[in-house]
């Protein structure tokens, strides 16, 4: 444990569904649109895009195909408003700030690797008052491929100036875990309401909440795993 802890120089956080539960609001905002049109939103298709982009499943295009017509602009605008309203009602997920504090106290660097846009991630981190805690951030507009490809993790490791073996990733989705593992990082999975039933088995350690452990305990679990 002591040796392993000394090796670790950085923690890389995912954003959506890990720092802030944006996943439930985004899903719910689309579910409401589908329900208002008498259609089912297929959850097995939805989860393909969690932690990634809408390249694999585009809810708007899918629903428009089902209906045989484009969705009016006011429906799309109202969906965004509902999503924003629900996201703004969320607080930083339990344990996140303490892990940031613990990492700083241990002299570790902190990064964010997100399949969302820089505007989205920076905006929320600034609003939550934790943007300046992170040394580096890489988002989908910085790289060629979003998660589950390793590009975001490779880019953030480069920016932090650490090796994959010197960093751990914390993720909430299968796409995120896969991206971290493909980049060679050890990965902790913390599922949320959307990802709880999904296979996060590729992670080195899975926990119900970051609030359940201190960072030292988390490193100990990773060392044992
Ligand atoms: Mg995520």
DSSP string over 17-74: TTTB--HHHHHHHHHHHHHHTT----HHHHTTTTTS-TTS--HHHHHHHHHTSPPPHH
Q: Does 155 score more than 60 pLDDT? A: yes
- Domain boundary (40, 61, 88) is at 88
pLDDT at 1: 47
Distance 17 CA to ligand 1 centre (A): 5
- Reference 57, options 65, 70, 46, 68; nearest CA is 46
Distance 173 CA to ligand 1 centre (A): 5
Confidence band for 2, pLDDT divided at 50, 70 and 90: low
Summarised one tens digit per residue, pLDDT across range 78-129 is: 999 999 999 999 999 999 999 999 999 999 999 999 999 999 999 999 999 9
Summarised one tens digit per residue, pLDDT across range 134-150 is: 999 999 999 999 999 99
Same domain, 109 and 219: yes
The DSSP bridge partners found for residue 167 are 10
Q: Does 216 score more than 80 pLDDT? A: yes
pLDDT at 42: 94
pTM of the model: 0.95
Same domain, 149 and 187: yes
Distance 224 CA to ligand 1 centre (A): 25
Active site (catalytic) residues: 14, 16
Distance 79 CA to ligand 1 centre (A): 20
Number of H helices, E strands in the chain: 10, 6
Percent of the chain with pLDDT over 70: 98
Same domain, 116 and 42: no
Residue span of the structural domain in which 178 resides: 2-21+92-224
Distance 153 CA to ligand 1 centre (A): 13
Same domain, 17 and 103: yes
Asked if residue 215 lies in contact with residue 102, where contact means CB atoms within 8 angstroms, the answer is yes
Distance 68 CA to ligand 1 centre (A): 32
pLDDT at 5: 73
Helix (H) or strand (E) segment spanning residue 167: strand 167-171
Taking residues 13-41, what's their average pLDDT?
A: 97
The rounded distance, in Å, linking the Cα atoms of 99 and 175 is 22
Using the CB atoms, write b or e for 152-168: b if 16+ within 10 Å: bbbbbbebbebebebbb
Confidence band for 224, pLDDT divided at 50, 70 and 90: confident
- Reference 167, options 146, 185, 141; nearest CA is 185
Same domain, 77 and 165: no
Same domain, 146 and 207: yes
């Amino acid at each position: 444990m002591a040796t392993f802890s000394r090796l670790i120089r950085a923690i890389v956080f995912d954003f959506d569904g890990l720092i802030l539960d944006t996943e439930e609001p985004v899903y719910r905002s689309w579910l409401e649109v589908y329900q208002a049109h008498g259609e089912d939103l297929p959850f097995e298709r939805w989860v393909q895009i969690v932690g990634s982009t809408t390249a694999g499943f585009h809810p708007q295009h899918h629903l428009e195909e089902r209906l045989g017509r484009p969705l009016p602009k006011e429906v799309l605008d109202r969906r965004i408003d509902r999503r924003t309203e629900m996201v703004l009602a969320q607080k930083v997920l339990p344990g996140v700030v303490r892990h940031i504090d613990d990492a700083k106290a241990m002299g570790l660097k902190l990064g964010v690797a997100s399949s969302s846009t820089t505007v989205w991630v920076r905006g929320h981190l600034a609003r939550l008052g934790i943007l300046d805690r992170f040394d580096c951030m890489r988002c989908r507009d910085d790289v060629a491929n979003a998660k589950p490809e390793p590009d975001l993790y490779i880019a953030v490791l480069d920016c932090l100036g650490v090796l994959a073996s010197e960093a751990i990733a914390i993720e909430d989705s299968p796409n995120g875990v896969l991206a971290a593992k493909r980049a060679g990082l050890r990965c902790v999975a913390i599922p949320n309401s959307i990802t709880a039933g999904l296979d996060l088995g590729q992670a080195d350690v899975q926990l119900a909440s970051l609030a359940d452990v201190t960072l030292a305990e988390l490193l100990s679990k990773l060392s044992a795993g």
